[in-house]
A and B are shown apart, each in its own frame.
Chain A
């Protein structure tokens, strides 16, 4: 198991190099002149040139990348080109907002999808199954940006139950979390239903039923445990996806997370901030994926046995 974890960490290091190189290079070759944006239209050519030199924009990309990575190995993610803010500090200020949003959203996903998926599977081909499937279809088809605006108008503006924007109060998270959670819940519901259906048809469950085991025990103890593997995979991936993929929803609700920070950095051609955001998001995502893989071992003894070489 430890060997596997070490191997994954080494892969992560390689991944960071690849991601940083791709992001840094793309940001550097993208059309646009960040220096002009920084100094404004009133600056003279001489001032533009001094600023360009100070920021190192006159050096070849590879030299700049080398310098960036050298600093990175010392834990220095550089400074944003606008306002010279420390990238790591800026990211860390925004991270808790994204973690909070992702956590609430994933809890919403689990609370909706698990019971609904189990119910749909155990009541296959009944009206419950049909409604659950239709709801899942709706959830998958509805675009997040549209749902977000509708929720904002109904529950924020018309009913006044939740704030329409920002993250200052505890209940601010509800609308963005639901917006993000609906599509995830829909997908997870379908996954749970299909995983449960597969498991419920297994011979060992038929045997259990024949031996007179109560249906609740069959479903929740024997079937659900085995069906959890694909569910954990999908929910884990969704959780990771929320770190980098919540940008649109963050924009709708003005949620101050890392998604909106990354978008602002990319739009402003802020190479240090954009590269730093991408690297840090990659690290976090990799760590979560690793944690999920480790979790498999505890949920599924077969996986643990594989890692232990049995």
Chain B
């Protein structure tokens, strides 16, 4: 009897322990999943201005979920390499995402030598020092172009370098000329390239040389799997007034642990916050959250090896059938993670134009499907496991217009290869990191043989437009043609734009200088600071 009682008591205690621990997992449901009513960007009153009279922490800690694999800006194609090297290296020219202007960074100015885009003279700023103390000159630009265009030297090559440029000629110490194979009126927009030091590569081991840039920060301590740091370069050519932090340390913290690390004060800032954690962090009085429209354009693509999708009406039927708002609400944390979009281009990209696009119209879609005699047609939807919910929304949308969609979950690591070879009809949740020159992005996605055109889209009309825009003599001349091309893409739907990913950040209240740039390779964390007094 006594033993029985003891067992009952111990079972009750165990249950009590489990329940109390489980209770700790809970929280206010409304607080966790509140719908997004207004734009949750940080207010100006919350932002700490850099006055110069405050005392700043020497070190700021930033959380990021991935370790760095290369400190060479051309050594890897991943995001972490791009943003890390962005502080260490400087571009020749930059596409300013705020103003839409092309601005010189290392370049003082540039000119179209022949007036037809076939040759471009770039004049460099003088007195710019690399981290090893040597001075930047035209030879560094020539060296960088030739070194970084070759896949035998680097992993991330300068896009279309050989196709565009015949040769690079050093005219004098600070002047370099790019001779193009054909007229490229928007050529400066292609010069968003990090400049390497030729002297460093000539005199050091590659492992050391690839660390030498001329940005506001130098490569700091790298501890595999733990952290990677940058240290301020006090001889930075634009001065260090805007860079009060001496050292910025990136701590490798996996996605799910980032909120706890921010709340515990173990890190000061994170510019990569999962939308699922947004409300949790936004409700914390010690933190402030940031949100900005990113440069990732999410889209649904079709397999043009299946003849049915070469019929523009069937593509339009799909565009009408798919409810973008549903996808954004169901799959992107109620709109925190993305904003519905109708143009494949993103507003922060050069040459973006508003388009008159096909909107959600299931009745119209049904009519087009019936008109083409495709009622009940099986549509195979290729998706990765993490996009299952996305695929299910699309499946429901397509069923509502009389099609018979089936979902095929595939391995994400094989995604690119499957787009090229797989026997699917449409694929969902793919995205384009939309940065850089517009013509380049158009070319790679929609032109025959384009590097991202793995679904084999081909259109004579499009090719004619591409040929036409290449005859332009000036960039201004190109802009209206860009707008026409965007409208053509909206009408002819070679792909179906769905939404633009939002970039989300979070910082402690005493942190300032945060710039949530829409492009990963422009993530300007280097201006971040932490006020410790004042």
User: Interface of A with B (CB < 8 Å)?
Assistant: 30-34, 36-45, 47, 50-51, 54, 80, 82-85, 90, 93-94, 97, 125, 127, 130-131, 133-134, 137-138, 149-150, 152-154, 156-157, 160, 163-168, 251-254, 256-257, 260-261, 264, 267-269
Residues of B within 8 A of A160 (CB): 264
Q: Which residue of the partner chain, among A31, A50, A83, A168, contacts B75 with CB atoms under 8 Å?
A: A83
Q: Is the CB of A254 within 8 A of B417?
A: no
Q: Is the CB of B261 within 8 A of A134?
A: no
**Complex-state Cα separation, A45 to B448, whole angstroms:** 13
Residues of B within 8 A of A261 (CB): 225
- Cross-chain pairs A/B with CB under 8 angstroms, 24 sampled: A30-B413, A32-B417, A33-B413, A34-B413, A41-B433, A43-B151, A83-B69, A84-B70, A85-B224, A90-B224, A94-B225, A97-B225, A127-B6, A134-B11, A137-B14, A138-B14, A152-B260, A157-B260, A157-B264, A165-B253, A166-B261, A256-B252, A267-B413, A269-B413
| CB-CB contacts below 8 Å: B1-32 with A | 3, 6-7, 10-11, 13-14, 17-18, 21, 24-25
Q: Is the CB of A47 within 8 A of B225?
A: no
| CB-CB contacts below 8 Å: B222-239 with A | 223-227
With both chains docked as a complex, state the minimum distance between the C-beta of A15 and any C-beta of chain B, in angstroms.
27
Q: Contact flags (1/0) for B400-426 with A, using CB distance below 8 Å?
A: 000000000011011011000000000
| CB-CB contacts below 8 Å: B105-162 with A | 151-152, 155-157, 159
Q: Is the CB of A94 within 8 A of B224?
A: yes
Residues of B within 8 A of A156 (CB): 260, 264
Residues of B within 8 A of A167 (CB): 226
Max count, chain A CB within 10 A of own CB: residue among B11, B18, B67, B451 = B451
Which secondary structure dominates chain A's binding surface?
Answer: helix
With both chains docked as a complex, state the minimum distance between the C-beta of A128 and any C-beta of chain B, in angstroms.
10
Q: Is the CB of A254 within 8 A of B252?
A: yes
| CB-CB contacts below 8 Å: B62-119 with A | 67-70, 75-78
With both chains docked as a complex, state the minimum distance between the C-beta of B475 and any C-beta of chain A, in angstroms.
22
> Contacts A253-B257, A254-B253; is A85 near B69 (CB within 8 Å)?
yes
Residues of B within 8 A of A36 (CB): 416-417
Q: With an 8 A cutoff between CB atoms, is B263 at the interface?
A: yes
Q: Is the CB of A165 within 8 A of B69?
A: no
Max count, chain A CB within 10 A of own CB: residue among B152, B253, B260 = B260
**Complex-state Cα separation, A93 to B433, whole angstroms:** 33
Name the residue on A nearest B417 (C-beta). Answer: A33
Q: Is the CB of B261 within 8 A of A130?
A: no
Residues of A within 8 A of B76 (CB): 38, 82-83
Q: Is the CB of A82 within 8 A of B416?
A: no
Q: Is the CB of B414 within 8 A of A31?
A: yes
Q: Is the CB of A82 within 8 A of B69?
A: yes
**Complex-state Cα separation, A254 to B224, whole angstroms:** 12
Name the residue on B nearest A89 (C-beta). Answer: B224
**Complex-state Cα separation, A226 to B13, whole angstroms:** 34
Name the residue on A nearest B411 (C-beta). Answer: A31
**Complex-state Cα separation, A83 to B154, whole angstroms:** 10
Q: With an 8 A cutoff between CB atoms, is B363 at the interface?
A: no
Residues of A within 8 A of B198 (CB): none
Residues of B within 8 A of A32 (CB): 411, 413-414, 417
Q: Which residue of the partner chain, among A80, A84, A154, contacts B24 with CB atoms under 8 Å?
A: A154
**Complex-state Cα separation, A63 to B6, whole angstroms:** 65
Q: With an 8 A cutoff between CB atoms, is B444 at the interface?
A: yes
Name the residue on B nearest A251 (C-beta). Answer: B254
| CB-CB contacts below 8 Å: B246-305 with A | 251-254, 256-257, 260-261, 263-264, 266
Residues of A within 8 A of B451 (CB): 41-45
User: Interface of B with A (CB < 8 Å)?
Assistant: 3, 6-7, 10-11, 13-14, 17-18, 21, 24-25, 67-70, 75-78, 151-152, 155-157, 159, 223-227, 251-254, 256-257, 260-261, 263-264, 266, 410-411, 413-414, 416-417, 432-433, 444, 451-452
- Besides A33-B416, A50-B152, A166-B227, 6 other A-B contacts (C-beta < 8 A): A31-B411, A38-B76, A41-B416, A127-B6, A130-B7, A257-B225
With both chains docked as a complex, state the minimum distance between the C-beta of A233 and any C-beta of chain B, in angstroms.
28
**Complex-state Cα separation, A267 to B21, whole angstroms:** 33
Q: Is the CB of A42 within 8 A of B159?
A: yes
**Complex-state Cα separation, A166 to B77, whole angstroms:** 26
Name the residue on B nearest A256 (C-beta). Answer: B225
With both chains docked as a complex, state the minimum distance between the C-beta of B72 and any C-beta of chain A, in angstroms.
9
With both chains docked as a complex, state the minimum distance between the C-beta of A161 and any C-beta of chain B, in angstroms.
11
> Contacts A50-B152, A167-B226; is A33 near B414 (CB within 8 Å)?
yes
Name the residue on A nearest B263 (C-beta). Answer: A157
Residues of A within 8 A of B151 (CB): 39, 43, 47, 50-51
**Complex-state Cα separation, A152 to B261, whole angstroms:** 10
Residues of B within 8 A of A50 (CB): 151-152
Name the residue on A nearest B69 (C-beta). Answer: A83
With both chains docked as a complex, state the minimum distance between the C-beta of B317 and any C-beta of chain A, in angstroms.
28
What 3 A-B pairs come out closest when comparing CB atoms? Answer: A256-B225, A40-B77, A83-B69
Q: Is the CB of A153 within 8 A of B24?
A: yes
Name the residue on B nearest A253 (C-beta). Answer: B257
> Contacts A43-B451, A130-B10; is A164 near B252 (CB within 8 Å)?
no
**Complex-state Cα separation, A47 to B148, whole angstroms:** 13
Q: Is the CB of B11 within 8 A of A165?
A: no
With both chains docked as a complex, state the minimum distance between the C-beta of A164 and any C-beta of chain B, in angstroms.
4
Q: Which residue of the partner chain, among B13, B17, B157, B260, contacts A153 with CB atoms under 8 Å?
A: B260
**Complex-state Cα separation, A130 to B4, whole angstroms:** 10
With both chains docked as a complex, state the minimum distance between the C-beta of B235 and any C-beta of chain A, in angstroms.
28
Residues of B within 8 A of A47 (CB): 151, 157
**Complex-state Cα separation, A38 to B416, whole angstroms:** 12
**Complex-state Cα separation, A42 to B77, whole angstroms:** 9
Q: Which residue of the partner chain, among B21, B251, B414, B417, contacts A165 with CB atoms under 8 Å?
A: B251
Name the residue on B nearest A97 (C-beta). Answer: B225
With both chains docked as a complex, state the minimum distance between the C-beta of A235 and any C-beta of chain B, in angstroms.
25
With both chains docked as a complex, state the minimum distance between the C-beta of B24 and any C-beta of chain A, in angstroms.
6
Residues of B within 8 A of A168 (CB): 226-227
Residues of B within 8 A of A164 (CB): 257, 260-261, 264, 266
Residues of B within 8 A of A42 (CB): 77, 156, 159, 444, 451-452
Name the residue on B nearest A82 (C-beta). Answer: B69
Q: Is the CB of B69 within 8 A of A150?
A: no
Name the residue on A nearest B6 (C-beta). Answer: A130
Q: Is the CB of A83 within 8 A of B70?
A: yes
Name the residue on A nearest B18 (C-beta). Answer: A138
**Complex-state Cα separation, A243 to B414, whole angstroms:** 29
Name the residue on A nearest B207 (C-beta). Answer: A84
**Complex-state Cα separation, A90 to B433, whole angstroms:** 30
Q: Is the CB of A166 within 8 A of B264?
A: no
Name the residue on A nearest B436 (C-beta). Answer: A42
Residues of A within 8 A of B416 (CB): 33, 36-37, 41
Residues of A within 8 A of B155 (CB): 38-40, 51
